[in-house]
Amino acid sequence: MAIPAFDQADDRALGDSPTLGVVAIAWNEERDLPGFLANLIGWVDEIVIVDDGSTDRTPEIAKAAGEKISFIASPRGSGEYFADQRNKGIRAASSAWLLHMDVDERVPPELATEIRNAIRDNSKDGYRFRRLNYFLHRPMRGGGWQDWNMIHLARRDLFHFEGMFHERCVLSAPVSRIGQLKERMWHLNDISYNARMRKSLVYSEEQAKRLSERYRRIRWFHFLMLPALEFLRKYIYRKGYRDGTLGLLFAVHSADAMFRATALVWDQQNPAARADIEVEVSQSWKGYNPKNSG
């Protein structure tokens, strides 16, 4: 499915509107960054990219894209997460409104027009919008993918992000001043299943933290119960069956990720030191006389 280009004539027809910037965090994005910039540069006022220490052509591509681009090389320090990176982008931006995106997201023209209209409404400080999520380059209608609906468009001076890897927006505004957009952002996600597995390993830290807060002690039955419940939640309750084989694959993948997080918490709760084994080996050799062997 091709990504539709934004018709700049539609934007001009809207007349004057507040400035709109996009903030994105990046790490080794040379594959997706050209499409990301091409999708935005014709209709937003600025694009701020906070880079986590890319070793590929990401900096080169961003810096060559024109004066609308602000590239900030700022690898995460100890104890910093994705929310900290997004907050750096907020501080660096100057637009009145900011749209927070990932580099693998794309704005269809209908959503771009809706955003430009929405930020002209003085009765609103922020907006939720939904995603059309892709898994292995196919749109997902179930499995929980359809439930994402977050505030990623807001006035720059009223919001910040919190959380670890799945960060959330905190908006200093009453519910009545938060709107809901109709059109969906396209989220292309991982380039392959191998990439999805690598990302899942990173997210295990966040999942393990939640499990350790919920369960004071991981027991043997948790290794069976928690993955099974995760599979049923994604495939049945969240209607992953709508997506056929792809929905089944994702539900099993989610169950496997839950198993790994459970194992991580168990290991943290039941530490065993390698040094103790070394002591045991050393003690087993006491009194050994090679002359008596054989």
Domains and CATH numbers, the chain: 8-187 (3.90.550.10), 193-271 (no CATH)
Helix (H, G, I), strand (E, B) or coil at 82: helix
φ/ψ region of 7 (left if φ > 0, alpha if ψ in -120 to 50, else beta) reads beta
pLDDT for the residue numbered 202: 80
> Is residue 187 very low, low, confident or very high in pLDDT (cuts 50, 70, 90)?
very high
Type of residue at 174: P
pLDDT for the residue numbered 200: 87
80-84, 93-97, 222-226, 251-255: range with lowest mean pLDDT:
80-84
pLDDT in tens, 149-179: 999 999 999 999 998 767 889 999 999 999 9
pLDDT in tens, 75-127: 998 888 889 999 999 999 999 999 999 999 999 999 999 999 999 999 999 99
pLDDT for the residue numbered 294: 60
**Alpha carbon distance 180, 198 (integer Å):** 33
**Alpha carbon distance 252, 221 (integer Å):** 18
Of how many residues is the chain composed?
Answer: 294
pLDDT in tens, 194-206: 989 988 888 888 8
192-201, 232-241, 245-254: range with lowest mean pLDDT:
192-201
Q: Which two tokens stand for residue 2?
A: 């091709």
**Alpha carbon distance 198, 211 (integer Å):** 20
Q: What average pLDDT is seen over the chain?
A: 91
- For 23, other C-beta atoms within 10 Å of its C-beta total 28
**Alpha carbon distance 272, 180 (integer Å):** 51
Rg for the chain, CA atoms, rounded: 24
**What percent of the chain lies above the pLDDT cut of 90?**
80
Q: Cβ(60)–Cβ(146) under 8 Å?
A: no
pLDDT for the residue numbered 293: 65
